[in-house]
Amino acid sequence: MTDNEFDILDELYFVQSYKELKETLGWKDQQLIDTLKELVKKGWVKCFDSAGSEEVVEQPKLADNYSNYRYLATKAGLLKHTGGE
């Protein structure tokens, strides 16, 4: 796990919007998007619509709209984060 992945997972124990993550972490868009893409690909983070009610799983849809979604760590992601895998 990279430091960036760890830092994002640290924020995703509860659903967070892209904007909230960006403000909390103070990262540039590309750094945040690249790390979120990797976390979603690994199955460590789930992506939800802007209301936080419906999971978004279509990769092409995700690729163009990362800033419009909300994020939450999965059980697998939380286990990786805490070292309890």
Residue 63 lies in a domain: yes
List alpha helices for the chain, DSSP H. 3-11, 18-25, 29-42, 59-65, 75-82
**Angle at alpha carbon of residue 16, lines to 10 and 17, rounded to 5°:** 130
Count of domains for the chain? 1
Residue 72 lies in a domain: yes
Residue 48 lies in a domain: yes
CATH number of residue 12's parent domain: 1.10.10.10
Q: Tens of pLDDT along 21-73? A: 999 999 999 999 999 989 998 999 998 877 766 777 666 466 678 888 899 99
Could you tell me how many residues make up the chain? 85
Full residue range of the structural domain in which residue 32 is found: 3-80
Residue 52 lies in a domain: yes
pTM: 0.86
Residue 85 lies in a domain: no
Residue 61 lies in a domain: yes
Contact 58, 50 (CB under 8 A): no
